[in-house]
Structure 1
Amino acid sequence: MAQNTVEKTPLTLLGLGAMGTALARTWLAAGHPLTVWNRTPARASALAAEGAGVAESAAEAVAANTLVVVCLLDDTSVDEVLAGADLSGKDLVNLTTGTPAQARARAEWARARGARYLDGGIMSVPPMIGVPQAGAYVLYSGSRELFERHQGALAVPAGTTYVGEDAGFAALFDVALLSAMYGMLAGAAHAFALIRKEDIDPATLAPLLADWLAATAPAVHRTAGQLRTGDYTKGVVSTLAMQVAGTPTFLSTAEQQGVSPELLTPYFALMRRRLAEASGEEDLTGVIDLLLR
């Protein structure tokens, strides 16, 4: 009975872009009473046929339920949409993408208006929402009590990962993970560029590349351990000195293949700088310290 009660928690959703619509349809399919609002009424109307209640204003939608989820374009949109809403006693879950500073300020803003607050970072694209095997999840930070109270409902569209009481942590983890993704994609782009002018089917490289990236990914655990202890020489497989010595080969190959090295040279420059300042027997972890201002 308790689980059934959690599953049927009524909620309000403000914002029906591609992500908001995916969230709405998943909650509706799971039987949650859902009130929706969107600046473009047609998007909200389309969900009425699937069982959603459509509010005429954001204030009316907020008034309908205690749990209010916001999934808008940006932080400024949150200000505009909630300007006339009474948030006293509400549980506000903000899934709008923003910075850690914006999340912390929004948490204070919510508390000043009598609301409890959770910030969220969605690690997913809309087609992954509501598909358990897709691996989608949402990072949450802020009130742990609020997270635990609504975790059942929040877990319906995607998995949930709580990262701390600091409201800014979800946004921080979100950007950290996406930054790593872009770094990986940059490396993949360089790899494909190297073979682009050759008689090589990119589909031949793709599985090798995917397997190689998957095999190297666990190295982040060694990096984390070194950062915790401050010992950057522990568990080193390829020393900084060895890796710096190998960089000319990468640059020469790029030149020979007619490929710009601009995706590699900033990192190689940091590696050389670290080697000049520290022990060549350490790992690449010391590069992280060079990035801190």
Structure 2
Amino acid sequence: MGSALAAAFVEAGYPTTIWNRTPGKADELVARGAVLVPFVADALRASSLIVVCLSDAASVEDVLGPHRDELDSRTLVNLTSGTSDEARGISKWAGDYVDGAIMAIPEVIGRPEAFLLFSGSAEAYARHRESLGRLGTTTFFGEDVGLASLYDVALLGVMWGTLNSFLHGAALLGAAGVDAAEFAPFANQWVSSVTGFVNAYADQIDRGVYPAEDASLETHLATMKYLVRESSAAEVNTEWPARIQAMTERAIRAGHAGASYASLIEVFRSRA
């Protein structure tokens, strides 16, 4: 990912200085016009905009911590994955700091379909917005430096939930001899239909009321049981649908009988 970010700046015509823990990995970027320096401090002195993408927050502190003085009068944009607390921790010593999250794979960096999330110093983001826009479509969430990281993990949760459901469905149909490629277009069509519930449920969540305008929890629960039974009969792992069934039953016991599926938000808000 770090190479993809640097390549996007190079391709956009920005003078780009790079440092990497393994210098040999930068050979292609150097051939394309980037300047490789041997020491972190040299990289930090080279520009008013510093973009870092490492394995985790601890690596960011290990690499940049000893050079905090070099960050004076510079903007640090950290695109390393991490938690909101880790972002807030780095912001305490990084000065002019913007935290970011990349919702894309390296191959699409530099194109509009790559979207990046930012939070932190509004002034710093505004100053470098054009440069950061060379990486993809950007969104700024405000001065709460942890928001980009929170959006990151929340969106990844949506991705994993969707993919887990597809994988479980593919396993279930696969037990009946149906290829995943045959199932995929129907899964995509259904995912597109399900997105229509998101805005309606978001409004219910924000209002704190959950009218069953489409189906009640009891209706959902009845068909969840069929999914668990079909999975068991096909000798497909039942953990995923059984967990959903258990959470729905818990919501009903908590007083949400007759409510919409959105009422499960109250289960998610409570400690397990």
Q: TM-score, normalised by structure 2?
A: 0.95
**Which amino acid in structure 2 is aligned with residue 107 of structure 1?**
S
Q: Within 2, Cα distance between the matches of 1:75 and 1:279?
A: 40
Matched with 2:81 is 97
SS of equivalent to 1:31: coil
Pairing partner for 2:149 from 131, 152, 171: 171
Q: Within 2, Cα distance between the matches of 1:164 and 1:215?
A: 32
Q: Displacement, 1:45?
A: 3.5
- Count of paired positions: 268
1:56-103 deviations in whole A, cap 9, x for unaligned?
211110011111001111111111111332111110100011000000
Pairing partner for 1:148 from 123, 126, 138: 126
Q: Displacement, 1:279?
A: 3.3
SS of equivalent to 1:288: helix
Matched with 1:220 is 198
Q: Within 2, Cα distance between the matches of 1:279 and 1:56?
A: 61
- Equivalent positions of 1:51-62 (< 5 A) are 51-62=33-44
Q: Are 1:262 and 2:244 an aligned pair?
A: no
Matched with 1:182 is 160
Pairing partner for 2:179 from 201, 204, 221: 201
Asked whether the equivalents of residues 92 and 117 of structure 1 are also in contact (C-alpha less than 8 Å), the reply is yes
Q: Displacement, 1:201?
A: 2.6
Q: Displacement, 1:281?
A: 2.1
Pairing partner for 1:119 from 85, 94, 99: 99
Matched with 2:28 is 46
1:172-222 deviations in whole A, cap 9, x for unaligned?
000000011111111111100111122323221110111101110231211
Matched with 2:222 is 245
Q: Displacement, 1:46?
A: 3.0
Q: Are 1:138 and 2:116 an aligned pair?
A: yes
Tell me the C-alpha RMSD between the 2 structures.
Answer: 1.3
- Equivalent positions of 1:78-89 (< 5 A) are 78-85=60-67, 86-89=70-73
Asked whether the equivalents of residues 59 and 84 of structure 1 are also in contact (C-alpha less than 8 Å), the reply is no
Q: Displacement, 1:131?
A: 2.8
Q: Are 1:283 and 2:260 an aligned pair?
A: yes
Runs of 4+ that moved beyond 6 A: none
**Which amino acid in structure 2 is aligned with residue 175 of structure 1?**
V
Q: Within 2, Cα distance between the matches of 1:207 and 1:277?
A: 37
Q: Displacement, 1:247?
A: 2.2
Matched with 2:208 is 230
**Which amino acid in structure 1 is aligned with residue 13 of structure 2?**
G
Which of 25-34 and 275-284 deviates more? 275-284
Q: Are 1:76 and 2:54 an aligned pair?
A: no
SS of equivalent to 2:66: coil
SS of equivalent to 2:176: coil
SS of equivalent to 2:92: helix
SS of equivalent to 2:116: strand
Q: Within 2, Cα distance between the matches of 1:87 and 1:257?
A: 59
Q: Within 2, Cα distance between the matches of 1:157 and 1:131?
A: 7
SS of equivalent to 2:17: strand
Q: Within 1, Cα distance between the matches of 2:250 and 2:66?
A: 54
Q: TM-score, normalised by structure 1?
A: 0.88
SS of equivalent to 2:98: strand
Which of 40-49 and 122-131 deviates more? 40-49
- Amino-acid identity (%): 37
| Structure 1: tracts of 5 or more residues without a match | 1-18
| Structure 2: tracts of 5 or more residues without a match | none
- Equivalent positions of 1:8-23 (< 5 A) are 19-23=1-5
Q: Within 2, Cα distance between the matches of 1:46 and 1:194?
A: 45
Q: Displacement, 1:47?
A: 1.5
Asked whether the equivalents of residues 4 and 106 of structure 2 are also in contact (C-alpha less than 8 Å), the reply is yes
Asked whether the equivalents of residues 136 and 159 of structure 1 are also in contact (C-alpha less than 8 Å), the reply is yes
**Which amino acid in structure 2 is aligned with residue 160 of structure 1?**
T
Asked whether the equivalents of residues 49 and 77 of structure 2 are also in contact (C-alpha less than 8 Å), the reply is yes
The structure richer in helix per residue is 2
